[in-house]
Amino acid sequence: MRFRTVREWGESLDFSRDFIALACDKGALRFGSFVTKAGRNSPYFFNSGLFDDGTSFNALCGFYARAIVAARETGGRTGLGFDMLFGPAYKGIPLAAGAAMRLAETGKNVPFAFNRKEAKDHGEGGALIGAPLAGRVLIIDDVISAGTSVRESVAIIRARGATPAGVVIALDRMERGQGAISAAEEVAVTYNIPVVAVATLENLVSYLADNAAFVAHLDAVKAYREVYGTRSAR
């Protein structure tokens, strides 16, 4: 299968759809039978670690940048305002660095930082690498499952006197957590910050419905949505 170039992936105005197409091409978005952390039998699975070459990862980070810019432009006063990026270990580390690079290409040059799982006690020491956490800090991660990564990131940011500004993820599954709302919605309510996704379950359903190569998976995804989806996903 031929992968598109970075330029080709950026041509469409519908970047959510382009992101899903890229994820399918790379096998980062797969269909079948998968058991989630919550013990649910899901008909699809997303693994951002499979964007494992320069072209696809550059495109992925470009989609993050476009989602961030779109949220800033359409949000008005309540939009996505931030001063720097933070990538929680481990998957958030390359995502934050890559998103910062792609944002710089748009004229938005911001510092970034990430954490170590264990503090280093030699050399420069400490648990953080990169720019000092300051101002409004935007958290960059792949997905929100139980919200553990976000919770730890918020604690790190606040401990250094900075303010969490929001979270940007690749895919919002829009399925219920412990209650009636999704894990992403729980994060937004708990910390009073926006959660922006490059693509959502709604985008995925639309893509499957219009794509002959994947339409066979549509009924299973819609059935799963009916059982586990939030109200906004139905």
Given 37, 120, 217, 222, the catalytic residue = 120
| Dist. CA 32–CA 40, nearest whole Å | 13
- The end-to-end CA distance of the chain, in Å, is 33
How many CA atoms are closer than 13 Å to the CA of 28, on its beta-carbon side?
21
Burial of 159 (0-12, 13-18, 19+ CB in 10 A): exposed
Decide: 66 and 120 in contact? Cβ < 8 Å: no
User: Residue 183: left (phi > 0), alpha (psi -120 to 50), or beta?
Assistant: alpha
Rounded to 5°, the CA angle 1-34-15 comes to: 50
Q: Is 120 annotated in the active site?
A: yes
Catalytic residue selected from 91, 108, 117, 122: 122
Q: What is the SS3 string spanning 40-71?
A: CEEEEEECHHHCCCHHHHHHHHHHHHHHHHHH
Asked whether 140 and 87 are in contact (CB, 8 A), the reply is yes
Residues with Cβ < 8 Å from 137, sequence gap 6 or more? 82, 83, 84, 85, 86, 157, 162, 163, 164, 165
- Give the residue numbers marked as catalytic: 120, 122
